[in-house]
Amino acid sequence: MLIRVSGAAVQGIDAYIVTIEASTSRGIRFFLVGLPDSAVKESHERIISAFQINGYKFPSCQIIINMAPADIRKEGAAYDLPLAVGIMASVGELSTSQLDDYVIMGEMGLDGTLQPVKGALSMAIKARSEGFKGIILPAQNAPEAAVIDGLDVYGAQNLRQVVDLLNGKPDSIRPLERRSFSRSLPDQANQLDFADVKGQNAVKRALEVAAAGSHNLIMVGSPGCGKSMMARAIPSILPPLTEDESIETTRIHSVAGFTGHGTALITERPFRHPHHTITSVALTGGGSNGQPGEISLAHNGVLYLDELAEFSRSALEVLRQPLEDRTVVISRAKYRVEYPASFMLVASMNPCPCGYYNHPTKECHCTPTVIERYLGRISGPLMDRFDLQCEILPVGFDDMSSNEKGETSAAIRERVIRARTVQAARFHDENGVYCNAQMDSRLLRRYAKAEPSSIRMLGEAMNRLNLSARAYDRILKVGRTIADMDESETILPQHIAEAIGYRSLDRASWGK
């Protein structure tokens, strides 16, 4: 008897349907074909044990199982459950009337207990698009898949519950109710607050502008001036994720296996801060099995690189293309995948090896050649991709000893949310565009409308600072964000002036 069971596999962040064909005939052998890896082949032993412990008899006949499409490698233990269902149905121990209605996936323990799998949200999206009635997953993955409308999601604890469901027993598991999306603000109790940052009002303003438009920002200053503290406080002023952003972010983290078991969608923007010893593969993604890297895990959030000059040159240079395209394509001999990578890059670094170049009171012991070599670790093309460049001076004693509290993150976040609301309405009809930093040249011409006096001011700055065409676009984007914060329809001269002021590292005198 030939039986077909539908499963799913994930490539990149997209899923595709895997058809498991099970056929029984006279004999005693077991064949598993269709390019399975070692983990899939080991499912035979887990299935036998699960059958015995749950009172099911493993067929004493020849079993041939094919996993189609046969030219794509099947990896992982998540095929245990559909393989077990196919074997039982092929010998008549399980009703086949509902098999065509469901996508079935799950890893089994030796006792038939189901373990969570990766990529459940992508599988649910694919199941709905292919017209399946529902999806059967381990209970830990069900809340994640239940956010998809128009699909029955069943969360099973073990093999017996799945068998009872497919056999139509009335006391079997019920589908989960759809989890409605609700925007939530981050828990301020677990985050740094800008009210605790002494002084540095100009840098706080730059961080607010960066958060309002999701612009890339770099801070350069001596040790102890507050670069890391302010960077780590950025999540406290970011707006909550929209539903579309939340689904995109959750899909990436689900594929990587980083979503919490029993949780639905990720509602807080990611904040990733890898150590400077990270490799280029860990940063961009890839590896033998194709996993998303840090730049994709930071999608719709922040990637913070502390001590930027200490990162390897090869790791930093791979950021250039994703910063422009907001996607990263990983091409290897065995696969090619594309991951989203629309993140806000925040970086901090010292101005020289000793850290005290341009310090108002401490003497720098580095020679001009050493300083130039140190700053040269950050290539010009990469530095050009930072929308805001801030030089930070140490906090004075009066500010440090003052008991006066600064503006809270909650107050700053309200202004950021208002600016993002304006941008959300502006880009409502633009697929995948949520903020000013994501504008391409076409959208920039349409939405970044500046006064003639603003354009003249920008032209003077271009000639004086010898800025690139990329810097021109980025100044307009930052100007558009500042105008949104001021609730202005057009970009006024004061908006352009402030945006130009955030290009401090482009000045010819800096670092000389």
DSSP 344-388: EEEEEE-SSSSS-TT-SSSPP---HHHHHHHHTTS-HHHHTT-SE
Looking only at the bridges linking them, the beta strands covering 344-349 and 302-306 are parallel
User: What was the pLDDT predicted at 479?
Assistant: 95
User: What was the pLDDT predicted at 452?
Assistant: 92
Q: Report helix, strand and coil shares of the chain as percent, to nearest 5.
A: 40, 20, 40
User: What was the pLDDT predicted at 509?
Assistant: 47
The identity of residue 251, as a single letter, is R
Alpha carbons 270 and 315: distance in angstroms, whole number: 20
How many Cα atoms sit within 13 Å of 427 on the Cβ side? Answer: 21
- The torsion of the CA quartet 251, 255, 258, 262, rounded to 10 degrees, works out to 70
Q: Is residue 9 a contact partner of residue 16, using CB atoms and an 8 Å limit?
A: yes
**Which residues lie below 8 Å from residue 409, measured CB to CB, with a gap of 6+?**
188, 191, 192, 193, 194, 195, 233, 236, 237
User: What was the pLDDT predicted at 161?
Assistant: 95
* Cis status of the peptide bond prior to 69, with omega within 30 of 0: yes
Comparing CA positions, the residue from 227, 289, 229, 278 lying closest to residue 256 is 289
Strand (E) or helix (H) holding 390: strand 388-392
Alpha carbons 476 and 448: distance in angstroms, whole number: 7
Helix axes 201-213 and 409-426, enclosed angle (nearest 10): 30
Sign (positive or negative) of CA dihedral 145, 150, 156, 162: negative
Alpha carbons 141 and 143: distance in angstroms, whole number: 6
**Which residue bears the tokens 């991709």?**
385
Token reading at 11: 């490539």
In order of 39, 220, 244, 354, the CA distances from 348 in angstroms are 43, 6, 30, 15
Neighbours of 402 (CB within 10 A): 12
Q: What is the DSSP string of 423-480?
A: HHHHTTTSTT--SGGG--HHHHHHH--B-HHHHHHHHHHHHHHT--HHHHHHHHHHHH
Phi, psi of 447 (to 5 degrees): -110, -20
Q: Work out the angle at residue 354's Cα, subtended by the Cα atoms of residues 351 and 360, and round it to the nearest 5 degrees.
A: 65
Neighbours of 371 (CB within 10 A): 19
Q: Is residue 15 a contact partner of residue 125, using CB atoms and an 8 Å limit?
A: yes
**Which residue bears the tokens 């890059």?**
345
Q: Is residue 109 a contact partner of residue 46, using CB atoms and an 8 Å limit?
A: yes
Phi, psi of 107 (to 5 degrees): -90, 140
Q: What is the pTM of this model?
A: 0.89
Looking only at the bridges linking them, the beta strands covering 62-68 and 134-138 are unpaired
pLDDT in 10s for each residue of the chain, 512 residues: 789 999 999 988 999 999 999 998 887 788 999 989 999 999 999 999 999 999 998 888 899 999 999 888 888 899 999 999 999 999 888 888 899 999 999 999 999 999 999 999 999 999 999 999 999 999 999 999 999 999 999 999 999 999 999 998 877 889 988 877 766 666 665 678 888 888 888 899 999 999 999 999 999 999 888 899 999 999 999 999 988 889 999 999 999 988 876 677 888 899 999 999 999 999 999 877 778 999 999 999 999 999 999 999 999 999 999 999 999 998 887 778 899 999 999 999 999 999 888 888 888 889 989 988 998 899 888 988 999 999 888 887 676 767 777 789 999 999 999 999 999 999 998 888 889 999 988 999 899 889 999 999 999 988 888 888 888 999 999 999 999 999 999 999 999 999 999 987 765 445 55
